[in-house]
Amino acid sequence: MSDPWGDTFSDDERALLAPFVTDLDAPVFGLRNLPEVVKGALFSRYSRTDKSLRRILLDEFIQSPESGFAAIVGTAGAHHADQLVAVRQAEAFYERVLIGYGDDSVAELGGAHLACEGVSNIAAKALEDARIGISPLEKSTRYVVFNRKVDGRYRYLREPQIMESRHASAYTAAMDGLFGTYTALLEPSIAAVRARTPRDEQTSERAYASATRAKACDLLRGLLPMAAPTNVGLFGNGRAFEYLLTRLYAAPHGELHALAGEMQRALDALIPSFVKRAKTERGRAQQEYLRGMRERVAVLG
C-alpha cells in the first residue's frame, strides 16, 4: 500500500511507522508517541522538502542513527531523566534541523504545559496578556476562597523593595485589612445570598451550597488586591513562550524577573531547543529594546 504522495512502504517499514502515526495510508493523520522536539524538527523538515511526512519520519528520524530517535522514543515510557539525557545527546542534531530548515515559525510546532503557582495577580496578568500562542487558565476567584493563611499570616506578595522601605507597615496593614474584610464578610454574604435565593426541589444541597458560595465569592472578589497570590496554568508553543520570557526578563518588576528565570528552567527541561534564544545575546538585545521602548513611551506620558 502507498500514501497519497506515491510512497510505498514495506511491511517492515509500516511496522516501524505504526506506533507514531494515527493512519498509515490516509492523507490526513496525526502524530503520536513523539517528544515535542522530534515533532518540531519533523515539521521543520516537512516545510523544505517534497517528501511525505511519513517518509521523512522513517528515513531521517527513525532510521537515522544521528537523530538518536531510538534512544529518545525508547525512553518515552520509562524514566523522564533517561529521555532527557537522550534528547540532550541528540540536541545538536535537532537544533540544526530546527534552525537550518525553518524560521521562527518552526518554534510554534512544539509546545509545553507549565504551572506557575503562588504568583501575584500582577504577574498573572503579565502571563495572560500573552494571548497569541498561549492559552492561560487562572485559579478562579469565583469558585475558590482566597483567605488561606500560612503560619498565621495572610498570603500576599511581600515585594522586597516595599518590605525594606518605610512603607512596609502601611502596606501590610492595607493588605491585612483587605483580606480581613474579605474574610469577615464571607459567611454573612453566603447567608444573604441564600436568603435571597432559596433552594428549589430540583437542586441538591451540595449544588446549592456550591452555587451560593460562588455567588458570595463573586460579590467579594473586588476586595482582593493585585498582591493576592494565584495559580496560572499555561499551554503554549515554543515561539510564544520564548517571547513571553523575553518580555518578563525586560519587565520593571522583580517578581517578573524571578518568574522568567523559573519558567526558563522549567521550559529548558521540556522544550529547550524552542526557548533557548530568550537567554542568548539575541534575546538580551531584544530585552534591551523593550526596556528602551518602555522608557521612551513613559516620557511621552
Rounded to whole angstroms, how far apart are CA atoms 54 and 31?
10
**Confidence (pLDDT) at 109:** 75
**pLDDT 10s digits, 100-117:** 655 667 777 778 899 999
List the grid coordinates of 246.
523575553
pLDDT band at 64 (very low <50, low <70, confident <90, very high): confident
pLDDT band at 156 (very low <50, low <70, confident <90, very high): very high
Beta bridge partners of 135: 235
Higher pLDDT, 83 or 182: 182
C-alpha dihedral sign at 61, 66, 67, 71: positive
- The full length of the chain comes to 301
Rounded to whole angstroms, how far apart are CA atoms 106 and 17?
23
Would you kindly state where each structural domain of the chain is located, as residue ranges?
Answer: 11-102, 111-141+228-301
Edge-first strand order for the sheet with 134-138 is 111-120, 229-237, 134-138
Integer angstrom CA distances of residue 290 from 115, 125, 145, 242, 285: 25, 18, 37, 14, 9
pLDDT band at 219 (very low <50, low <70, confident <90, very high): very high
Average pLDDT over the chain, rounded to an integer: 87
> Which residue bears the cell 491585612?
176
**pTM for the whole structure:** 0.79
**pLDDT 10s digits, 232-251:** 999 999 999 999 999 999 99
List the grid coordinates of 154.
495572610
> Which has the minimum average pLDDT: 83-87, 118-122, 212-216?
83-87
Residue 5 has pLDDT above 70, yes or no: no
